[in-house]
Chain A
Amino acid sequence: MLNLQNIVKYFHKGGANEVLALNDLSLDIRQGDFITVIGSNGAGKTTMLNCMAGCFFPDSGTIALNDQDITGLPEFRRAKFLGRVFQDPLLGTSASLTIEQNLALADKRGQRRGFGLGVKKKDRDRFCELLKQLGLGLEDRLQACVKLLSGGQRQALTMLMATMVRPEVLLLDEHTAALDPKTGAQILELTQRIVETQRLTTLMVTHNMNQAIKLGNRLIMLHRGRVILDIAGEEKKNLSVENLLERFYSLGGADELSDRMLLS
């Protein structure tokens, strides 16, 4: 469904601090995959997601969606089929707009916007129903400014906004990392529920190995800009953290393994 082929991405190419962020990376995401992505700091996880979303274009390689080449499609056009949740809870919502205004903006993802009223009366009931699913009481605060919400509430709202128009692929980049453990667990549970009920094809970056093993049907590990492990199906079900670390060491990544990854 979403296919990355031999993607190469440099930052500051030719400059003194040149970085090879994606090094001939290939990945085939199949319909219905729920892929967890792990890798040490700087492995290229965020860069890979940004490349899929079109924040920048790769230096070489192709990206295809349902066999259609989208390598040169700008970010705002890819929004039609991508839902995104960022690590920073402030990034996913517009702080100075109200909850219902944010939802209305997301409700039009990938569609033409015109001179119709932004928030229509008839949409409010639907927004309420959606917000009720979160169990945070936000359905009673439709007209509250989003900047009044906590980080967890904003991230929950972002989850909703990313999926209220069904995306073909949902991209989650450490979307619980900035939250306290309890709130993070709630958002993760919400993620699981939404992904399952809508049968979304999902890519989720996480630093938590247990999470990566427990969730999804497929696990990939990135290292120095390429996919060094790709485990699916039965094999993934039987994974353990020790087992995963062992395989990582044997691939020669020991020195690169971050403390953060070992500890989580």
Chain B
Amino acid sequence: MTWYAILGAIEQGSVYGLMVLGVYLTFRVLDFPDLTVDGSLPLGAAVSSVAITAGVNPFVSLFFALGAGFLAGMITGILNTKLKILHLLASILTMIALYSINIRIMGRPNLTLLGKPTVLDSLTGLGVPAYLAAPALFGAISIVAVAALIWFLHTELGQATLATGDNPQMITSLGVNTDMVVIMGVGLSNALVALCGALVAQNQGAADVNMGVGTIVAGLASVIIGETLFGKGGVTRPIIAALIGSIAYRLAIAFALDFRVGELAVSPSDLNLITAVIVVLALTSPQIKGKLARK
């Protein structure tokens, strides 16, 4: 693998790391399997792209994306807690609805940002070469997000959020409105995912309604790889692990794309299959290990 590929993996790992943090927040902290992300990633991309096209500053457009993602997550949370729809189904409903909404927002299935200003201009304008600008900026943003999430989970509200995922009966009897925590938590998660989508769109120069397909699986794979490499336990460690897992996952993908046996090469469209297999293996590996040990 070339240095260029490694740099690319860091860039992708950092920017998608924001999404992985969101998935960690729902899947692990709130114990809420949330498929909304497949729709909120393109939502962030769409909102940011439309805003930039309308002349909004690219950085300001990120806040629009954050807000839109938060709303989308809140809707999933409300469907689940107030309307009592099973969490998985609630999130699928929002995801499906977002497909239509995203096309409405863009006015068409995709929107190009060619020739438009992006957040990367702030660095390339200073003379930073483009291949360094993206990993540097996205790396910085994801580190800030990691720090912010670590801080949040140590606050009174953050601790109540952790307890809500862990033992809702207990935290209710201590006076916390768990419905509210779930709605806000899923909102926060999808805000991060939408921010990720906005940055991805600006980086690749286009937003596409289908760019979110497989987001949840990539997110899960990253979370699980992070846990495997870096361990679980505590509040701080797993969050750092999620970001590291995201980078490791993108490295693995880059490696897979290099892989070639004679005529047979891995194509980018194979990645969802590969990722799904990785998740299945990772989810079942403790059982597999156990079985091998017993024999």
Query: How many Å from the CB of B230 to the closest CB on chain A?
Result: 17
Mark B160-174 against chain A: 1 for CB-CB distance below 8 A, else 0: 101100110111111
- Indicate if the CB atoms of B167 and A114 lie closer than 8 Å: no
Name the residue on B nearest A110 (C-beta).
B175
Check A79 for interface membership: any CB of B closer than 8 A. Answer: yes
- Indicate if the CB atoms of A96 and B166 lie closer than 8 Å: yes
Complex: A80 Cα to B170 Cα, angstroms: 13
Check A95 for interface membership: any CB of B closer than 8 A. Answer: yes
Contact of B163 among A84, A97, A110, A117 (CB under 8 A): A97
Query: How many Å from the CB of A132 to the closest CB on chain B?
Result: 22
Check B268 for interface membership: any CB of A closer than 8 A. Answer: no
Place the interface of chain B in its size category: 20 to 34
Starting from the known contacts A76-B176, A94-B171, 4 additional A-B residue pairs (CB-CB under 8 Å) come to A94-B170, A114-B157, A115-B152, A161-B174
Complex: A109 Cα to B178 Cα, angstroms: 14
- Indicate if the CB atoms of A105 and B166 lie closer than 8 Å: no
Mark B208-239 against chain A: 1 for CB-CB distance below 8 A, else 0: 00000000000000000000000001000000
Residue numbers of A with Cβ under 8 A of B are 53, 74-77, 79-80, 82, 84, 86, 90-97, 101, 104-106, 108-111, 113-119, 145, 161
Complex interface: chain B residues within 8 A of A145 (CB): 233
Residue numbers of B with Cβ under 8 A of A are 152, 154-160, 162-163, 166-167, 169-178, 233
Query: How many Å from the CB of B183 to the closest CB on chain A?
Result: 14
Contact of A79 among B157, B159, B166, B173 (CB under 8 A): B173
- Indicate if the CB atoms of B159 and A84 lie closer than 8 Å: no
Contact of B167 among A79, A91, A110 (CB under 8 A): A91
Complex interface: chain A residues within 8 A of B170 (CB): 91-94
- Indicate if the CB atoms of B160 and A113 lie closer than 8 Å: yes
Complex interface: chain B residues within 8 A of A116 (CB): 155-156
- Indicate if the CB atoms of B175 and A80 lie closer than 8 Å: yes
* Residue among B159, B177, B178 with most chain A CB within 10 A: B159
Complex: A4 Cα to B177 Cα, angstroms: 24
- Indicate if the CB atoms of A75 and B157 lie closer than 8 Å: no
Contact of A96 among B155, B162, B172 (CB under 8 A): B162
Asked if A94 meets B175 with Cβ closer than 8 Å, knowing A114-B157, A116-B156, the reply is no
Can you show 22 pairs from A to B with CB atoms below 8 A apart? Answer: A53-B173, A75-B172, A76-B172, A77-B175, A79-B176, A82-B173, A84-B173, A90-B167, A91-B169, A92-B170, A93-B170, A101-B162, A104-B159, A105-B171, A106-B174, A113-B160, A114-B155, A114-B156, A114-B157, A115-B152, A118-B154, A119-B159
